[in-house]
Structure 1
Amino acid sequence: VMLDNESLPPRSPSKSSISTMEPTSDNEAESPMTVQQNDSQNNPEPMMSDGISEPLPYHVLSILQALPGHHGCLQQQEAQTLKDLRSAVLAWEGKEKYIDCLAMTDEHEENLLLRFLRARGFDKDKALKMLQHDVDWRSQIGLASMCKQPAEEILGCDPAKIDRYIPLKHIGYDKQGRPVIANHLGGKSVIAEMLDTCTSLEQLIRYHVWMQESFCRLLTQQSQKLGVKVEQIVVIMDTKGFYLGLFNRRSQEFLQRIAEVDSNHYPERLGLLVVANASPLISMAWRGIGKLLDERTRQKIHFTSSPQAAGKVLLEHIEADMLPKEYGGSAPCLDLQ
């Protein structure tokens, strides 16, 4: 998911939410990350980075606050796995790159580790491998330098040209403070033509990464502003005008590449996806694809056949004055098509 440039917060340096203290052995002094028992819930308190305050709580409307594997609702084994993962990361020879990544994202360490653990079913070894791959990838592509570049340098063209093919807009926030992104993937989305006339596939992928990092800064900005943890986004995808001819080899490669980037490097960032104007063809394709996804992910995605049907879902999460008129709200129409 990419954001329009005007809505993005500026990149600013910040302190990391991790200490460089080495993990202790079982015989040494208890680590500040040690889980303490919560007598009222019979669940362990979440672990914290050394010398750093506890992560922010979730919004009162967020269902995440009551789900296992999330801050404030960790089961005993999950808390131990979190502690074990952190010890493994700090024993890794690439630890310094990991610390640099935390400093760049300004994400609390526990939040980051839990996202990767949930993405790998709380398998410590798989989560560690995924995290190490992510840290190495960020170093290899020079992400810190990339984020300081203007969009024009990343793309090699004016970003407005890309918007003509894949129009999108950051329209505001939902009731939990999550950013709401609206985009259109329909008749204008001729990916092959865009790659022939505007930019290359590699530049487009780098631009997607650049936008994702800008989006992560927006999440941090919202968390600091509201005093609650905002770590996911809401996406409205309007597919009006989509036809089978748009889905050719080059568009398939583009969509597959960005899906891989999001899955491998931005796990657990999607809070809700509502697809509006989904044709029978798209709905049929989803029935096949949906079987490959876990139940938690499927519950985040809603396919609707009309703007009105999409609006019924969206109004449960977004105030009417924030939702565009075409989806039953009172905000100005998007006009993305």
Structure 2
Amino acid sequence: MAVTATETKTAPVQTKTGEKTPAAAAEATSSTYTPPPGRLGNLTPVQEAALAKVAAELRAEGAFVESRHDDANLLRFLRARKFDVPKTKEMLIAARNGGRSLAPRTFEFTELEEVDKYYPQYYHKMDKSGRPVYIERIGNLNMKALYACTSQERLIQRLVVEYESFLTMRLTACAAATGHPVETSLTILDLGGVSLSNFIRVKDYVFATTSIGQNMYPECMGAFYIINAPWAFTAIWAAIRPWLDEVTAAKVQIVGGPRAYRPLLLAQIEEDSLPKDFGGTCECAGGCSLSDVGPWNPEGGKAASPTASALTEKTAEAIEHPAGGQVLSA
């Protein structure tokens, strides 16, 4: 699978005692960073013209939202529509209208710990490129128990909140830590223990989240690994793939058990950043799935998680005027 985010490899910057200096390391990384094609700093004249045109037309029509329509976010939608300005505008407006109806201005996911028992969905540190790592595990999914403590509507509201926090908080923190722009994430979907009947029970939710990701938060998936894929996943993938656009589907890599996926993940993620369950060495206190640890929350803990507390003012404003960009599932 081709990973779209550019990996930057630089020698660690050290102090006289041999310890790494984060600020100096970020500066060294920044100096060697080259933006991928279609991003700020690497646009063709045609792409630059399309960016200027879509921004000007949105302003002229009174549809431009300062907090949402910066150049980087507009470029997400432009890339998703191959820099076709009319199609990009249509997508932007549909995303804004759709987002307003999906999540309230303030949202508190108080059932987080209970939901985590049946359907862990979480961000955990960064990969070697500086991208936030997002993990989902559906092998132990118990729909009856899950919907006893939450609902599909609240799960979707949480998804939108997480997408928005990804844009307004996680990417910003990762960019500061690495010293260069970070626009995508690496996703791990663990199917260990999943059955075809389990997937059938959750397919409506998967379809809804896939549509939200592609249509409201495009161009945020850098890499997608489906691991522990069972023999029956051929049928499951045949059902999922038609929901995905070609660009998204091309980023998905399906692999089997630990012998197959561990070297692939460790090529992308430092061993001490990868949870022990997936072949790394990280064992967060209270469990990695509830730690929300990363540059956005260095000490970890649910207090800083946007799904465990009320939305920040910035994220709430983003949901009020959604037109940003983001992964298949948050």
Using the size of structure 1 for normalisation, the TM-score is: 0.68
Match of 1:135 among 78, 91, 96: 96
- 2:213 aligns to what SS in structure 1? helix
Aligned residue number for residue 57 of structure 2: 88
- In the alignment, the residues of structure 2 paired with residue 252 and residue 164 of structure 1 have an alpha-carbon distance, to the nearest angstrom, of 19
Aligned residue number for residue 311 of structure 1: 262
Gap runs ≥5 in structure 1: 1-57, 103-108, 153-157
In structure 2, the CA distance between the partners of 1:60 and 1:323, relative to structure 1 (3 Å rule), is farther
- 2:134 aligns to what SS in structure 1? strand
Aligned residue number for residue 21 of structure 1: none
RCO higher in 1 or 2 (8 Å CA, sep ≥ 6)? Answer: 2
- In the alignment, the residues of structure 2 paired with residue 60 and residue 237 of structure 1 have an alpha-carbon distance, to the nearest angstrom, of 33
In structure 2, the CA distance between the partners of 1:203 and 1:324, relative to structure 1 (3 Å rule), is closer
Q: Which amino acid aligns with 1:207?
A: R
1:66-81 to structure 2, matched below 5 A, reads: 66-67=36-37, 69-81=38-50
Aligned residue number for residue 201 of structure 1: 152
Which deviations, in whole Å up to 9, do the C-alpha atoms of 1:86-127 show, x marking residues without a partner?
A: 1111112333xx22445xxxxxx1101100011112111111
Contact kept, 8 Å, 1:166 with 1:183, in 2: the verdict is: yes
- In the alignment, the residues of structure 1 paired with residue 151 and residue 277 of structure 2 have an alpha-carbon distance, to the nearest angstrom, of 34
Q: Percent identity?
A: 29
Gap runs ≥5 in structure 2: 1-28, 290-330
- 2:193 aligns to what SS in structure 1? coil
Match of 1:230 among 182, 185, 193: 182
In structure 2, the CA distance between the partners of 1:240 and 1:231, relative to structure 1 (3 Å rule), is same
- In the alignment, the residues of structure 1 paired with residue 199 and residue 277 of structure 2 have an alpha-carbon distance, to the nearest angstrom, of 26
Pair 1:242-2:194 in alignment: yes
Q: Which amino acid aligns with 1:71?
A: L
Aligned residue number for residue 151 of structure 1: 109
- 2:218 aligns to what SS in structure 1? coil
The structure that has the greater radius of gyration is 1
Which deviations, in whole Å up to 9, do the C-alpha atoms of 1:116-161 show, x marking residues without a partner?
A: 0111121111110111122233445565x22xx3222xxxxx2112
Shift of 1:279: 1.0
Aligned residue number for residue 77 of structure 2: 116
In structure 2, the CA distance between the partners of 1:123 and 1:283, relative to structure 1 (3 Å rule), is same
Contact kept, 8 Å, 2:119 with 2:146, in 1: the verdict is: no
- In the alignment, the residues of structure 2 paired with residue 125 and residue 226 of structure 1 have an alpha-carbon distance, to the nearest angstrom, of 35
- 2:82 aligns to what SS in structure 1? coil
Aligned residue number for residue 129 of structure 2: 176
Q: Which amino acid aligns with 2:114?
A: K
- In the alignment, the residues of structure 2 paired with residue 177 and residue 239 of structure 1 have an alpha-carbon distance, to the nearest angstrom, of 25
Q: Which amino acid aligns with 2:224?
A: L
Aligned residue number for residue 253 of structure 1: 204
Contact kept, 8 Å, 2:103 with 2:161, in 1: the verdict is: no
Q: Which amino acid aligns with 1:257?
A: A
- 1:315 aligns to what SS in structure 2? helix
Contact kept, 8 Å, 1:222 with 1:230, in 2: the verdict is: yes
Pair 1:126-2:87 in alignment: yes
Contact kept, 8 Å, 1:307 with 1:326, in 2: the verdict is: no
Pair 1:65-2:17 in alignment: no
- In the alignment, the residues of structure 2 paired with residue 327 and residue 61 of structure 1 have an alpha-carbon distance, to the nearest angstrom, of 30
In structure 2, the CA distance between the partners of 1:77 and 1:181, relative to structure 1 (3 Å rule), is same
Q: How many residues were matched structurally?
A: 259
- In the alignment, the residues of structure 2 paired with residue 302 and residue 213 of structure 1 have an alpha-carbon distance, to the nearest angstrom, of 26
Using the size of structure 2 for normalisation, the TM-score is: 0.70
Contact kept, 8 Å, 1:192 with 1:251, in 2: the verdict is: no
- 1:247 aligns to what SS in structure 2? helix
Contact kept, 8 Å, 1:61 with 1:176, in 2: the verdict is: no
In structure 2, the CA distance between the partners of 1:129 and 1:324, relative to structure 1 (3 Å rule), is same
In structure 2, the CA distance between the partners of 1:140 and 1:185, relative to structure 1 (3 Å rule), is closer
